[in-house]
């Protein structure tokens, strides 16, 4: 079991309850999760109407979410043909990680320098959720915890330019990881993530940078294996 001694119990009132998520953001997060977890199968087609019906959030927020996901390269809107879900080519995982590595180091260093109490609380909650997912073997919960960790990193780093660059790469990477490594990679991945959190919360920029590089190296090793299949 991976243990982080400074983790606190989550608040009784969740952030989702205290601060309801706007419809467009909710539509984006639901669709992103469906794409990452392959509920929307790679290279398949879906219609806007089907997504609106499935999400039950209204046409405008769903359209906004579709546009954002298309910009991120996860969807391809084709007039009169529907919406294509991005295919998964194993070799592309390496390209994603090569693009992601540098910005992750920037975010890790900056997060260690500027982390606030609010961001620290998010890191604590993400680490606890990740630990619980490893213990229960719940891959979907792990994916959600990983997303929460990335959001905490973006908040702590106080660098919106780097965060906006990293976010779609993180999503693509999660999708590849879910497809090619989720069945065996929970504990090892969690260990690397928790090490990164520890360094950030300790305010150690050098250690945070090294832990970010180690995490990217771990993922790249998985991607290299996937590319040979």
The pTM for the full model equals 0.88
Give the DSSP per-residue string, 103-167.
Answer: HHHHHHHHHHHH--HHHHHHHHHHHHHHHHHHHHT-HHHHHHHHHHHHHHHHHHHT-HHHHHHHH
pLDDT for the residue numbered 81: 82
Q: Could you count the other beta carbons within 10 Å of the beta carbon of residue 68?
A: 18
How open is the CA angle 180-85-93, to the nearest 5 degrees? 35
pLDDT for the residue numbered 20: 59
pLDDT for the residue numbered 17: 42
Choose among 11, 12, 42: nearest CA to 175. Answer: 42
Given a cut of 70, the residues of the chain with pLDDT beneath it are 1-20
pLDDT for the residue numbered 167: 96
Measure the CA–CA gap between 208 and 97, rounded to whole angstroms: 18
pLDDT for the residue numbered 217: 97
């Amino acid at each position: 079991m991976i243990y982080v001694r400074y983790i606190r119990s989550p608040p009784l009132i969740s952030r989702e309850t205290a601060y309801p998520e706007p419809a467009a953001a909710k539509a984006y997060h639901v669709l992103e999760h469906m794409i990452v977890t392959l509920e929307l199968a790679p290279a398949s087609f879906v219609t806007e109407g089907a997504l609106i019906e499935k999400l039950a959030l209204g046409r405008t927020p769903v359209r906004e979410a579709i546009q954002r996901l298309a910009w991120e390269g996860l969807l391809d809107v084709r007039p009169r043909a529907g919406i294509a879900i991005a295919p998964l080519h194993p070799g592309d995982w390496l390209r994603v990680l090569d693009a992601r590595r540098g910005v992750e180091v920037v975010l890790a260093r900056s997060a260690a320098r500027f982390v606030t109490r609010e961001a620290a609380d998010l890191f604590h909650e993400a680490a606890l959720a990740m630990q619980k997912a490893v213990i229960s073997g719940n891959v979907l919960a792990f994916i959600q915890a990983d997303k929460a960790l990335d959001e905490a990193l973006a908040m702590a780093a106080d660098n919106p330019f780097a965060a906006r660059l990293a976010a779609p790469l993180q999503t693509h990477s999660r999708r590849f990881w879910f497809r090619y490594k989720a069945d065996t990679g929970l504990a090892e991945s969690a260990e690397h993530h928790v090490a990164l959190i520890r360094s950030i919360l300790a305010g150690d920029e050098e250690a945070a940078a090294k832990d970010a590089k180690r995490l990217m190296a771990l993922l790249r090793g998985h991607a290299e294996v996937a590319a040979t299949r």
